[in-house]
Structure 1
Amino acid sequence: MTLRSVLSGKAAKLVVVGPNDTVREAVRTMVSGNVGCVLVMDEGGLRGLFTERDLMRKVVAENRDPASLPVSQVMTTEVMAVGPDVTVGEAMSLCTERRIRHLPIFDGEELVGLVSAGDLTKAVVRDKQHTIDDLISYIYGGETI
């Protein structure tokens, strides 16, 4: 299973803020989008990610004012991106090794999505459940138990 298939099951809308938006604006965007991470983009493309972890470590813990602090000063700039044909297993390994929770997905130069560690886990569970259902059907000859 590839990230392309994971993306096909997600909403297509990317949640984005600009680098000059304040942390407060970014948090409001995260809350309204029900996400733990936003893409920080400008006309030049992806500049970074702003995550709940960034908020806690770089804003709250340092007692900085979210109303006046630009996202660009606290966003994660070292972003690991992958292609849509990367497998879910490879993506999970990458997240574990790099201790990251979000992976932007680029198809060539085009940003096509973002997956979280939760999205990857959900995909694995769904795949395993499908395998279990198939085995039960095989064992019981299509009968339900």
Structure 2
Amino acid sequence: MQLKEILEAKGRSVLTIEPTASLADVVTRLCEHNCGALIVYQDEKITGIISERDILRAIAEVDNPLEEISVKTRMTRDVVTGSPQDNINDTMGVMTRNRIRHLPVLDEGKLAGLISIGDIVKAQHEKFERENHLLMAYIQS
């Protein structure tokens, strides 16, 4: 299974935020959309990613209120990305090795979607359920 199949099933819309926004803005967006990360996007380019983990680190390390801390000071700048043709098993390895839970997907350099570890688990679970159903039907026939 390739990442493009997951994106086709879940949709390709991606929540973004500007680097000048505050961490309070990030928290609001994450809560509104029940998600764990936002792509930091400026001039049609990914400049970073900001996740719940980045927010927690900011709370632990900085005394300023979240309204006074900008995204660009706390975002992850070296963003690991994937492509629609990437295999789901390889992607699981990349995410595990890099200790990340969200992977932006780029298609010819353009943002094509965002895959979470939850999306991968769901896709794998559905695959195993289908295979199990087919095997049970075969055994019972």
Question: Normalising TM by the smaller chain, what interval?
Answer: over 0.9
Asked if 1:2 corresponds to 2:2, the answer is: yes
- Distance in 2 between residues matched to 1:108 and 1:98, nearest whole Å: 23
Is the 8 Å Cα contact of residues 23 and 66 (structure 1) preserved in structure 2?
A: yes
TM-align CA RMSD: 1.0
Asked if 1:13 corresponds to 2:16, the answer is: no
Higher relative contact order (CA 8 A, sep 6+): 2
Q: How does 1:66-105 map to 2 (within 5 A)?
A: 66-105=66-105
Match in the other structure for 2:60: 61
Is the 8 Å Cα contact of residues 2 and 85 (structure 1) preserved in structure 2?
A: yes
Q: Secondary structure at the match of 2:10?
A: coil
Q: Any gaps of 5 or more consecutive residues in structure 1? A: none
Superposition TM-score, scaled by structure 2 size: 0.95
Where does structure 1 differ by over 3 angstroms across 4 or more consecutive aligned residues? none
Superposition TM-score, scaled by structure 1 size: 0.92
9-18 vs 48-57, greater mean Cα deviation = 9-18
Q: Between the two proteins, what is the percent identity of the paired residues?
A: 29
Opposite residue 55 of structure 2, the aligned amino acid is L
Query: Which structure's residues are more often helix, by fraction?
Result: 2
